Amino acid sequence: MFRSTPHLVAQTLETRTPLFGFLGVSAVLSAVLALAAHLTLGTATVALLVFVGAVIVAGYALVNSYPHPVLGVCNAVTLARAAMVAFLTGALVSPDVSAWVVFAVASSAFALDGVDGWLARRAGLVSDFGGRFDMETDAALGAVTSLWLLTSGTTGPEILILGFMRYAFVGASFFWSALQAPLPQAFRRKAICVVQIAALIFLIFPLTPQAAVPPAISIAALLLSWSFLVDVLWLIRRAA
């Protein structure tokens, strides 16, 4: 019995190593986020609270489902993107924040999308956790940027279609069990997600002409609605 103890200790440390790395990166990002939010937003409270919430949820998922012995740069990049989304959430309650700052942070978060996946494949650290973490970060980025466009007066409430359609789908799945089934991988879904976020950032860009706003929203909303309709119909046929 005692001979197995070193093996159990090593196994426990191997399991906890990604969490230690995750918490260490989170601490560094929290400090950077606090400083950036204080200098540009005037307060870091909202941004830090959102980021801490994201760290808690993601950390719990990491402990319960991450299969690799190291965290990897890939997940650190996704965590940095989550910190950027937290910053943008703080911008929602900071009326004096510059649109250029919001555009720069949102563009950076968008530019890093795909980098984390590429790094994960290159390092052999692909996981369901990493894919879900990346997807939820994308969804949050879309939601926060759409809210900023609404509250800043750049667009009307129709912009919420681009930011909250996925959350509406998730909400509907609680009442319609057919929507809870896993979906197969689809390039179409990933491509339209890119179009969705790109359209939101295009609308945030301070020099975007007002005449371009309605068509940008309409085209992106139609593509997103079509993509969700394809998935819903596939799930219904599967459940039939």
Structure letter (DSSP) for residue 125: -
Domain C-terminal end among 129, 153, 177 = 153
> How many angstroms separate the CA atoms of 134 and 77, rounded?
9
* 71 and 100 share one domain: yes
Contact yes or no for 138/113 (Cβ under 8 A): yes
Q: What is the pLDDT of residue 6?
A: 44
Q: What is the pLDDT of residue 8?
A: 37
* 45 and 148 share one domain: yes
Q: How many domains does the chain have?
A: 2
* 116 and 187 share one domain: no
Contact yes or no for 47/79 (Cβ under 8 A): no
* 184 and 75 share one domain: no
The predicted model scores a pTM of: 0.91
* 176 and 120 share one domain: no
First and final C-alpha spacing in the chain:
52
- Give the domain range for residue 85: 1-153
Q: What is the pLDDT of residue 9?
A: 36
Q: What is the pLDDT of residue 96?
A: 85
Q: What is the pLDDT of residue 240?
A: 75
* 30 and 137 share one domain: yes
Q: What is the pLDDT of residue 1?
A: 39
Domain C-terminal end among 118, 153, 188 = 153
Q: What is the pLDDT of residue 119?
A: 93
Contact yes or no for 81/109 (Cβ under 8 A): yes
* 207 and 120 share one domain: no
* 196 and 148 share one domain: no
- As a residue count, the chain comes to 240
* 99 and 119 share one domain: yes
Contact yes or no for 103/204 (Cβ under 8 A): yes
pLDDT tens string, the chain, 240 residues long: the values are 334 444 433 444 445 789 999 999 999 999 999 999 999 999 999 999 999 999 999 999 999 999 999 999 999 999 999 999 999 999 999 888 999 999 999 999 999 998 998 999 999 999 999 999 999 999 999 999 999 999 999 999 999 999 999 999 999 999 999 999 998 888 999 999 999 999 999 999 999 999 999 999 999 999 999 999 999 999 999 987
